């Protein structure tokens, strides 16, 4: 776990969260009734209310991989939504399915072996899953953009930075080469790259890691997308550059009123940027809520474990807390709660049945029998 940057000095706004009508809960409720605390919505509202500021809504998304050794459930019934200009952080260890979900949104899952088996992805009210490849292409890079983790390999080594940026402009905005190039130079200066004219003519191998990530961002923002999916944008960079990139994303988000889905395994990054947070484990969301809920009233043992294992300067404990064991084999997930084998507070029910979400307030929920 990278050392976080001063967890507590960022003021967490105690947003009570916007009215969450129309908020959608996972559908496959189990039969066991939940007597005590929270209401369970049995089924989905048939017609999703077209709340104007609700940009993206994922409902019970299932993406499976048919490999030789068997079926891997990369993303097993995930639901979350993002409003305009809002930042949703998706957190979890590697292999928890956070990237798979993101890639499914843009339907970039390699067809053999992966397949989107179920659920819906509503973007501005229409379901992307029903889109034809051509329609999808109009969305990609134009309305939803994505940046990746490895700046070293994410840029085409034989094309100059300027060319790679102007490519999507030419594609979506119909610019001619010259217009696109001048626009690209503008974008490069927008993302804070010094001497953009020369940089535009240079090849990726001539740029530093941080600069390449900025070029990636310039490419993504070329067509002013409404949603930016950032798949661990800073993990491969060293800490100082990391902060600059996050601040850049924040600034551009404000400037263009863009929603951001930030995928990371670094709680420090989440603390700094996220409005809403979804914690994923083995292809499912185990806890979802505002960043304030997550950091100040974590409910799920896994989240608690994550928070405790984050190094904290003013935390006196000398030895580092680690979550025992490792992620179960995706080929044969345990019957009950996937976290059960590593859960310090596990009960016997956890081994038999999969927990379903229990709500604390109307936004914050956690899937754990502790709160049944």
Taking CB under 8 A as the criterion, the residue among 55, 145, 278, 286 binding other proteins is: 145
Q: Which stretch binds other proteins (CB under 8 A): 54-62, 124-132, 148-156, 316-324?
A: 148-156
- Work out how close the CB of 47 gets to other proteins at its nearest, in angstroms, rounded to a whole number: 29
| Distance from C-alpha of 366 to C-alpha of 289, rounded to nearest angstrom | 9
Taking CB under 8 A as the criterion, the residue among 88, 146, 200, 303 binding other proteins is: 146
Taking CB under 8 A as the criterion, the residue among 49, 67, 94, 153 binding other proteins is: 153
| Distance from C-alpha of 300 to C-alpha of 368, rounded to nearest angstrom | 6
Taking CB under 8 A as the criterion, the residue among 167, 189, 256, 370 binding other proteins is: 167
For residues 105 and 343, which CB has a smaller minimum distance to other proteins in the complex? 105
- Work out how close the CB of 32 gets to other proteins at its nearest, in angstroms, rounded to a whole number: 40
For residues 153 and 351, which CB has a smaller minimum distance to other proteins in the complex? 153
Taking CB under 8 A as the criterion, the residue among 36, 69, 158, 316 binding other proteins is: 158
Taking CB under 8 A as the criterion, the residue among 7, 219, 269, 282 binding other proteins is: 219
- Work out how close the CB of 222 gets to other proteins at its nearest, in angstroms, rounded to a whole number: 8
Q: Which stretch binds other proteins (CB under 8 A): 71-79, 119-127, 144-152, 273-281?
A: 144-152
Q: Which stretch binds other proteins (CB under 8 A): 42-50, 167-175, 180-188, 288-296?
A: 167-175
| Listed residue (103, 331, 325, 114) closest to 230, CA to CA | 103
Q: Which stretch binds other proteins (CB under 8 A): 80-88, 143-151, 290-298, 327-335?
A: 143-151
Site for other proteins contains 171 (CB under 8 A): yes
- Work out how close the CB of 113 gets to other proteins at its nearest, in angstroms, rounded to a whole number: 12
User: By CB under 8 A, how many residues form the interface with other proteins?
Assistant: 28
Q: Which stretch binds other proteins (CB under 8 A): 26-34, 154-162, 270-278, 347-355?
A: 154-162
Site for other proteins contains 205 (CB under 8 A): yes
Site for other proteins contains 98 (CB under 8 A): no
- Work out how close the CB of 219 gets to other proteins at its nearest, in angstroms, rounded to a whole number: 6
* Three-state helix/strand/coil letters over the chain: CCCCCCHHHCCCCCCCCCCCCCCCCCCCCCCCCCCCCCCCCCCCCCCCCCCCCEEEEEEEEEEEEEECCEEEEEEEEEEEEEECCCEEEEECCCCCCHHHHHHHHCCCCCCCCEEEEEEEEEECCEEHHHCCHHHHHHHECCCEEEECCCCCCCCCCCCCHHHHHHHHHHHHHCCCHHHHHHHHHHHHHHCCCCCHHHHHCCCHHHCCHHHHHHHHHHHHHCCCCCEEEEECCCCCCCHHHHHHHHHHHHHHHHHHCCEEEEEECCHHHHHHHCCEEEEEECCEEEEEEEHHHHHHCCCCHHHHHHHHCCCCCCCCCCCCCCCCCCCCCHHHCCCCCCCHHHCCCCCHHHHHCCCCCEEECCCEEECCHHHC
| Listed residue (235, 233, 241, 275) closest to 258, CA to CA | 275
| Residues 122-141 contacting other proteins, CB under 8 A | 133, 137-141
Positions in the binding site for other proteins (CB under 8 A)? 106, 108, 133, 137-142, 145-146, 148, 150, 153-159, 167-168, 171-172, 203, 205, 216, 219
């Amino acid at each position: 776990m990278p050392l976080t940057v001063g967890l507590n000095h960022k003021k967490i706004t105690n947003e009570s969260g916007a009215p969450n009508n129309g908020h959608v809960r996972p559908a496959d409720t189990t039969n066991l009734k939940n007597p005590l605390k929270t209401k369970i919505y049995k089924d989905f509202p048939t017609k999703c209310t077209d709340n104007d500021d609700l940009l993206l809504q994922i409902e019970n998304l299932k993406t499976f991989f048919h490999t030789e050794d068997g079926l891997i459930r990369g993303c097993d019934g995930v639901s979350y939504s993002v409003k305009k200009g809002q930042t949703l952080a998706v957190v979890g260890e590697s292999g928890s399915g956070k990237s798979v979900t993101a890639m499914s949104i843009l339907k970039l899952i390699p067809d053999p072996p992966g397949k989107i088996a179920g659920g819906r992805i509503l973007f501005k009210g229409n379901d992307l899953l029903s889109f034809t490849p051509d329609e999808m292409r109009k969305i990609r890079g134009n309305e939803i953009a994505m940046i990746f983790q490895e700046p070293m390999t994410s840029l085409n080594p034989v094309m100059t930075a300027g060319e790679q940026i102007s490519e999507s402009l030419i594609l979506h905005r119909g610019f001619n080469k010259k217009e696109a190039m001048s626009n690209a130079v503008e974008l490069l200066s927008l993302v804070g790259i010094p001497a953009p004219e020369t940089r535009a003519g240079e090849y990726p191998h001539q740029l530093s890691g941080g600069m390449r990530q900025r070029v990636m961002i310039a490419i993504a923002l070329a067509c002013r997308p409404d949603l930016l999916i950032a798949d661990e944008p800073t993990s491969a960079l060293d800490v100082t550059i990391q902060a600059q990139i996050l601040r850049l994303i924040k600034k551009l988000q404000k400037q263009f009123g863009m929603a951001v889905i930030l995928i990371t395994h670094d709680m420090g990054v989440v603390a700094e940027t996220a409005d809403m947070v979804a914690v994923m484990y083995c292809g499912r969301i185990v806890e979802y809520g505002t960043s304030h809920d997550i950091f100040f009233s974590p409910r799920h043992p896994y989240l608690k474990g994550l928070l405790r294992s984050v190094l904290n300067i003013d935390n006196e404990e000398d030895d580092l807390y680690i979550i025992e064991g490792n992620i179960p084999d995706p080929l044969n997930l345990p019957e009950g709660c996937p976290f059960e084998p590593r859960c310090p507070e596990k009960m016997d029910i956890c081994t038999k049945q999969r927990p379903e979400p229990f709500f604390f307030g109307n936004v914050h929920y956690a899937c754990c029998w502790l709160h049944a």
